[in-house]
A and B are shown apart, each in its own frame.
Chain A
Amino acid sequence: MNIFRIFLDSSLAAQIIMSVLAIFSIWSWAIFFKKLFEFAKVKRLSEIFFSNYYSHQDIQELENMGYLLNDSPYGRILESGIEEYKKLKASKPVHSFEQDTQKENPNLKEELSDNIRLAMERIKITEMSKLETSLPALSTFVSVSPFLGLLGTVWGIMVAFLDIRARGSAHITIVAPGISDALITTVYGLLVAIPALIFYNIFQSRINNFNSEFNKFVSEVFSRLRKNLLHRSEH
């Protein structure tokens, strides 16, 4: 089975469809390699980050983790939380917390500390959307490729029947070329769609894992910063 011969022997419509499917295939594999590289990078940087994160107990020490805060998504989430924490500290003197809570708004401490959570949530969403880039394209290839293949099949069969009509014979030599044209496009469509579907499911499950890990991290950092904030205000 010579792929090029099959391609050259096919009708123009089948050739166009096969070319589009080839582009889809190259594109989907490029996305696969890109995402594989990205996830591996995120995993590696996260491991480095967490090995440092758990060894630093104080907020000041965490601030000084330097490049680790910017490289890893966890670092960027932590950085945004610390930024917000610092803003809160700078805008409101420590002693005023006590006064505010006792006199006007008893829930003020909670509301202020929620700002830290929201800031981290915002960064988490940004990080998630970064991880999800190119997945819609992959999903499109999964759904469109079999239909393109099917289009080629229907077209080929239609041409075969027109040939039968024109020649007035349903001999196998007249029917076979059209049918083989027709079937080869379906094969190509499935060859593109099946790997793309596997990649999509793998990446989707990884992204879901990252999402739950980010949520866990956000609540952990939040409780740590909140505790620190409230602890300071009490003194």
Chain B
Amino acid sequence: MNRFYILSTSLHLIIFAVFIFANRAGFKPIPEFEVYKVSIAPLPQPKIVSMEESVEEDVKRETKTEEKAPPEQKAKSEKTKKPKAKTEKIIKKGLPDIKPKIYTGSGRGFTYSYYLNILLNKINKNWHNPFKDRDIVLKSIVYFEVDKNGKLYNVRLEENSGNELYNETTIRAVILAKKLPPLPQEFSDDYLKVHLEFLTAQ
């Protein structure tokens, strides 16, 4: 029986060898694909900014608009001007792992919770948390602005979670939302600033 085993093993080795040599000899082998590391979505370079800086930026913008405005309006605006400090209004309602902090352009409160629900639902639909049901706690904050027409712009990472994949998924979720419904007509400001906190479920 041994010689038959040897014969059979030899036959198998010959078949393997034929396969390997046929592959190397150029019998139209399947092209090998090169692997590139790519981002999940085309993203702007994540820029980490602190909350304080973003508030300062708001202030600068306001002062610029005031400078451009005619002197009469300027006087008006001075009258109606409210204290600059702490213009934010934190809305705690929302989905369990997405918490928005809303800033209005003028500093007035944003009281339209139905609009926020639409915003959160749309972003939450796009967000696939890669660390769901895991014991990892990650938090990232994405900053973006919504104009009167509901268009999102100036999307950037405000607080780095420390995990690249997690950061990308959060930014992607916001970018994919693309356009929201127009801001409420009653809302007089030109844009809405949103600091969206993404937190892994605990």
- Chain A residues in contact with chain B, CB under 8 A? 1-4, 22, 25-27, 29-34, 37, 167-169
Contacts and interface: CB of A to CB of B under 8 A. Distances in A.
25 contacts: A1-B23, A1-B29, A2-B19, A2-B20, A2-B23, A3-B19, A22-B12, A25-B12, A26-B5, A27-B5, A27-B8, A29-B7, A29-B11, A29-B12, A30-B1, A30-B5, A30-B7, A30-B8, A31-B4, A33-B7, A37-B4, A168-B130, A168-B132, A169-B128, A169-B130
Interface residues of B, number: 18
Which of B4, B23, B30 is most buried by chain A, counting CB atoms within 10 A of its CB?
A: B4
B16 to A, nearest CB: 6
Contacts of B8: 26-27, 29-30, 32-33
The DSSP consensus for interface residues of chain B is helix
Interface string B1-35: 10011011101100010011001000001100000
B130 A3 contact: no
B129 interface: yes
In the A-B complex, list the 5 residue pairs whose CB atoms are closest, starting with the nearest: A29-B8, A30-B8, A30-B4, A34-B4, A33-B4
Nearest to A4: B20
Contacts of B16: 3-4
A26 B9 CA distance: 6
A31 B1 CA distance: 8
Nearest to B12: A26
A31 B129 CA distance: 56
A168 B29 contact: no
Contacts of B23: 1-2
Contacts of B132: 168
Contacts of B129: 168
A27 B6 CA distance: 10
A4 B16 CA distance: 9
B138 to A, nearest CB: 14
Which of A22, A26, A32, A37 is most buried by chain B, counting CB atoms within 10 A of its CB?
A: A26
Contacts of A167: 130
A2 B19 CA distance: 7
Nearest to B1: A34
Contacts of A27: 5, 8
Nearest to B30: A1
A222 to B, nearest CB: 35
Given A1-B19, A2-B20, A26-B5, A168 B128 contact: yes
Given A30-B4, A33-B4, A168-B132, 4 more contacts: A3-B19, A26-B5, A30-B5, A33-B8
Nearest to B7: A33
Contacts of B4: 30-31, 33-34, 37
Nearest to B16: A3
A109 B130 CA distance: 92
A219 to B, nearest CB: 34
Contacts of B128: 168-169
A141 B77 CA distance: 90
Interface string B129-148: 11010000000000000000
A3 B20 contact: yes
Contacts of B12: 22, 25-26, 29
A188 B1 CA distance: 25
Contacts of A4: 16, 20
Contacts of A29: 7-8, 11-12
